[in-house]
Structure 1
Amino acid sequence: MPLFKKLLPEHVVDKLPEALCNPSLEFDEEAESLPVYNGETGDLLFKNKVPGARRVSRQRLRALLAKDLDESGTIRWGKRLAEFSQIDGEAGPVQLRFEDGSTYDADYVLGADGSSSKVRELLFNGDEVARVQLSGFMFATAIVKYGDAAKVEAVLKTHPVAAITMATNSVGGCGVMYAGEPNDLSDWTTMWVKIWRKSVAPLPEGVSAGQEALDYLKATTKGLAEPFQSMIDWSPDGSPCHIDEMKTWVPQPFDNRGGRITLAGDAAHPMLIYRGQGFQHAILDASQYLDALIKVNEGAGTKEHAIAAYDADMIERGAKAVRQSLQEAEFSMDPKTVHKMLMAREGHGRSV
């Protein structure tokens, strides 16, 4: 959180509570923890301390971070990158060309366009080596409004923010998504997730979202310890539900076009969603990239050297984190191996 706040204007930092899933929650030692339960017995396996951690709504946070940039006209919505070229040769600025035919000239380009990054594809000249790899682990999420205070209370009893369960060949989780009035739990929205091996329960062709996805998850998820099983079974028809296979890409050296173009976040090192590592490394990417640009602007180094140093660090730690996320997934699929997880041994601190 301190590094995240460092990157933001003070007036935006002051508004961060608006993005919290439960703004009225009093954060104490219990709220700043993450319990992990045995998905077969319901027993507590371990509980991580996560001091200062806050669960936020991605939608609310994105809106908060984009507000000033949007109002100033800085954001160009709906643009899809087609190609880039350098003006005046390798040393020159970059011209971005979009699918609608428009162009934009930039001194620097930071590709932060997600796991299937177009910037990454272009940096590698369309080579297959830039493509994300399927992990063999499926991820499902559902946003649920039970309309029943007792059912929401069952979620809160696992933990006031979020909880995880680990069973043979699957991982589950639950938490508060949008807290309504504190005295009316029936109006609250919660969420649950499930991770499982694709080989154990293959996804039927064409099923990825909506009611078909929800029906599939209800039919194939049986025997989880309570209340996790019931959270899935209780989900009302029509609840937003999505399923996808998680993807990874181990970062490797690339031509950054003389320090003009590089990558960050999921575009640089897409990983599985264990221990919050993706977000933590993305924030570190942003901070270190900013530091590199400041160094160049102040004349303390050339863009070639500053961005090369950024790339070297990002690639080394990103590659390690991606590999660790795959190992975490393997260990999480059986309560007998959970104790080997970094999550169990070291908690949620950044991996490197």
Structure 2
Amino acid sequence: MEGATPPSGTAGDANLPILIIGSGSTGLALAQGLRKAGIACTVFEKNDSHHRERDWNMGLHWGAPVLKSLIPEEWWRRIQSVQVDPHVPTKEQDTLNWLRGDTGETMAAFTFGPFYRLRRSKLRDLLSQGLNIEYDKHLESISYAQDHQAVTAHFADGTAATGSMLVGADGARSSTRQVLLGPDMGAINRIPYAATFVQQKFTKEQALYLRKFHPLFLACAHPSNNFAFFGMHDAADPDDPSSWTFFFYISWKSSLEEQEATKDWTDAQRLAQQKELAKAFCDPWKSAYEWTPDDASVWYLGLTDWDPGRPGHRWDNYHGLVTMVGDAVHPMTYQRGQGLNHSVTDAGKLRDALIKIEEGGDRQRLVSGFEDEMIQRGGLEVRDGTANTMLLHDWEKVKQSPLFTKGMKKSET
């Protein structure tokens, strides 16, 4: 059983750092919040470099005040530079138009704000500054001091690190979660939906045409029971539309059997499938796929979730020595743009709990209380997110989806 190995850390070790597993947006935001509070921490990343993973973009809206509280004030003034188009000022209120996928008619319009569309790589660059980050560190096991005052992370390269607490922030396929709950209970849950993502540049004329539908992003549901997204990913040079990169996909209901049967498909096969689906769509999707070269790089993703509120999913936090945040504990589907908002909220609430622990508060009570709230809030959003995905891919029930009934607002517990 994990945790049975005697640790190297004991209560005699003074000023042990918080160990954060994972250098995604959540782990880095937490680390910055601790740094701001004067609490030592070290971040461990399984990849061997900072930008090895794919890049995508994320919506930040109701979680923005929490992220602002975690970072230096002058950094928040740079948040505009982290957006997919830093040259389009963030509006206090913006409108997301949700289209009917075959005709282009507006089905609904959601007004909310301020809304930030952030590039993941740029956000990570901002949040990585000034931190102690160790790369090529894949978590294999965790052990705990007998006096409940220290925790040790053991990595695949044979090294170990001891801290006052360990926080798993290592994403949807979290190694921390599997260490704490075992490979079965801790495994990601696959659901019968899939998408293939395209990031593509176009000619000046094509780019200007595609962008006229919305400067940042659009979504649509199609009577064929498919859902689609189209948006800006990178507009570094506002005067050169041919340099802009767009990000788009069509998602569809895909059985686990189909996912398994097509797991070895090439990029060309994935793109050909998307192009065939796009023929029935309105613009900008139809033209964007027609104009995308057949040999373009794409990436495919079978959708997943993991509900922390399910029976058997509550982990032992070993007297408050170990916990999880973000996608490690509530990975959710992405069609309603809630993931980053919940993840930075986790980071803010755990930061608050750790400050109280530093001030002498009871660690087990504070960590368990933090987890109770996160599991309730995040678990509800996981369930809402999966229900939303199912309903968005069922034309007869689209208007019952949380995206339609709640817009981008947080699910209320």
* Alignment-mate amino acid for residue 133 of structure 1: N
Q: Distance in 2 between matches of 1:28 and 1:98?
A: 45
Pairing 1:43–2:100 present: no
Q: Normalising by structure 2, what TM-score?
A: 0.79
Matches of residues 148-297 of structure 1 in structure 2 within 5 Å? 148-167=203-222, 168-199=224-255, 202-203=258-259, 204-207=261-264, 210-251=267-308, 252-297=313-358
Task: Tell me which of 138, 143, 150 is aligned to 1:85.
Answer: 143
Give percent identity, aligned residues only. 27
Q: Distance in 2 between matches of 1:245 and 1:273?
A: 12
1:55 counterpart SS class = strand
Moved more, 240-249 or 217-226: 217-226
Alignment-derived partner of residue 107 in structure 1: 164
Q: Does the Cα contact within 8 Å between 1:155 and 1:174 map onto a contact in 2?
A: no
Pairing 1:142–2:198 present: yes
Q: Distance in 1 between matches of 2:162 and 2:215?
A: 48
CA pair 28-262 structure 1, distance change in 2 beyond 3 A: closer
Aligned residue-pair number: 343
CA pair 57-201 structure 1, distance change in 2 beyond 3 A: farther
2:379 counterpart SS class = helix
Task: Tell me which of 354, 376, 383 is aligned to 1:323.
Answer: 383
Q: Does the Cα contact within 8 Å between 1:37 and 1:165 map onto a contact in 2?
A: yes
Moved more, 195-204 or 303-312: 195-204
* Alignment-mate amino acid for residue 19 of structure 1: V
Q: Distance in 2 between matches of 1:238 and 1:100?
A: 37
Task: Tell me which of 130, 147, 159 is aligned to 1:68.
Answer: 130
Alignment-derived partner of residue 362 in structure 2: 302
Alignment-derived partner of residue 403 in structure 2: 343
2:126 counterpart SS class = helix
Task: Tell me which of 19, 39, 46 is aligned to 2:82.
Answer: 19
Q: Distance in 2 between matches of 1:226 and 1:201?
A: 31
Deviations 1:31-52 (A, max 9, x none): x221110012210011111311
Deviation at 1:180, TM superposition (A): 3.8
Deviations 1:73-128 (A, max 9, x none): x10011101111012x161301111100111001111101011111111111x251
Q: Does the Cα contact within 8 Å between 2:268 and 2:295 map onto a contact in 1?
A: yes
2:411 counterpart SS class = coil
* Alignment-mate amino acid for residue 266 of structure 1: D
Q: Normalising by structure 1, what TM-score?
A: 0.92
Q: Distance in 1 between matches of 2:365 and 2:243?
A: 54
Q: Distance in 2 between matches of 1:293 and 1:27?
A: 32
Unpaired segments of 5 or more residues in structure 1? none
* Alignment-mate amino acid for residue 116 of structure 1: R
CA pair 160-212 structure 1, distance change in 2 beyond 3 A: same
Unpaired segments of 5 or more residues in structure 2? 1-63
CA pair 12-128 structure 1, distance change in 2 beyond 3 A: same
* Alignment-mate amino acid for residue 119 of structure 1: T
